Amino acid sequence: MIKIALYGKGGSGKSTTAANLAAAWAEQGYKVMQIGCDPKADSTVLLRQGQEISTVLDLVRSKKDYGLDDMVRVGYAGVACVEAGGPAPGLGCAGRGIIAALEKLQEKGAYERFQPDIVIYDVLGDVVCGGFSLPMRDGYADQVFIITSGENMAIHAAANIAMAVENFRDRGYARLGGLILNRRNVRDEEAKVAELAEDIHSVIVGALDRSETVQDAEELSRTVLEAFPESDMAAQYRALADSILAVCRKEKD
């Protein structure tokens, strides 16, 4: 099983990228599970044509009997979709919610039931404390990939995420697989992200163009691969999916 944590600042295109990667791998015949670890609970919405699903935390709070079929719903190309969810606004800690959700998935035997080849943890990267750091530790993810643009706040968040991964390195937790450049067409964007990669002793594993095709697909509540499978952006997502798998396999070897 290949386990990937995808981190990035809110608004960086992280969830859109995660969903399109999941679609690309599923189209190749892999069993894929995507777990949204963001309180907004919108990580898998493009995989389910805009249909929301009950979050794990909502099910826990309901105190009713529930099973894996309530927690995990199947989306485009058979991707198993999960949303951790978050607390009610102003109440509780979103990070603790992620911990509770991932523990429940294990308790209910989600990985044994669905037997995914690839698991994607889609994690908010504005903060990397508490539960938000869980997917990069405690045996969840093997590799962390950070999505960033050349915008200053995105680069700042990416540097903090990389630092968190480095701090856990000696404990045998997830390793940093590299950066994903999601272009916003800001000045000197390529150079800024290349400099960041050098500073954190990593590499850029792939890049995505800023494209109206992505926006058009989102308006249809679809991934690009489902809505526009022959588009240039679909090809870019497929190429990125291949690059990420190559990194993961190299680390396993």
Active site residue 9: yes
The confidence band for 38, taking pLDDT boundaries of 50, 70 and 90, is confident
Per the structure, the count of domains in the chain is 1
pLDDT in tens, 78-106: 999 999 886 555 555 556 667 778 888 88
Higher pLDDT, 68 or 230: 230
**Stated pTM of the model:** 0.92
Active-site residue, selected from the candidate residues 40, 58, 138, 216: 40
CATH of the domain at 187: 3.40.50.300
- Separation CA 172–CA 182 (nearest Å): 29
Q: What is the mean pLDDT of residues 16-28?
A: 97
pLDDT in tens, 180-217: 999 999 999 999 999 999 999 999 999 999 999 999 99
Characterize the bridge pairing of strands 143-148 and 118-124.
unpaired
| Cα atoms found within 13 Å of the Cα of residue 68, Cβ hemisphere only | 14
How does pLDDT run across 107-126, given as a tens digit for each residue? 888 889 999 999 999 987 77
Handedness of CA 112, 116, 118, 123 (dihedral sign): negative
Which of 3, 14, 104, 192 is flagged as catalytic? 14
| Coil, helix or strand at residue 79 | coil
What is the model's pLDDT at position 60? 82
pLDDT at 56 over 90: no
Please tell me the distance from the alpha carbon of residue 148 to that of residue 105, in angstroms, as a whole number.
29
Q: What is the pLDDT of residues 147-177, one digit of tens each?
A: 999 999 999 999 999 988 888 776 778 899 9
Q: What is the pLDDT of residue 31?
A: 97
- d(CA 230, CA 202) in angstroms, rounded, equals 32
Please tell me which residue in 3, 9, 104, 192 is annotated as part of the active site: 9
Of the candidates 42, 58, 70, 126, the residue annotated as catalytic is 126
Q: In what order do the strands lie in the sheet with 73-74?
A: 73-74, 80-83, 32-37, 118-124, 2-8, 143-148, 175-182, 204-208
| Dist. CA 116–CA 69, nearest whole Å | 15
* Parallel, antiparallel or unpaired: strands 73-74 and 204-208: unpaired
3-class secondary structure, 146: strand
Q: Which residues of 205-231 are buried (b: 16+ CB within 10 A; e: fewer)?
A: bbbbeebebbeebbeeebbbbbbbeeb
> Domain range spanning residue 150?
2-252
Active site residue 192: no
CA–CA gap between residue 92 and residue 83 (Å, rounded) = 17
> Residue range 11-33: average pLDDT?
96
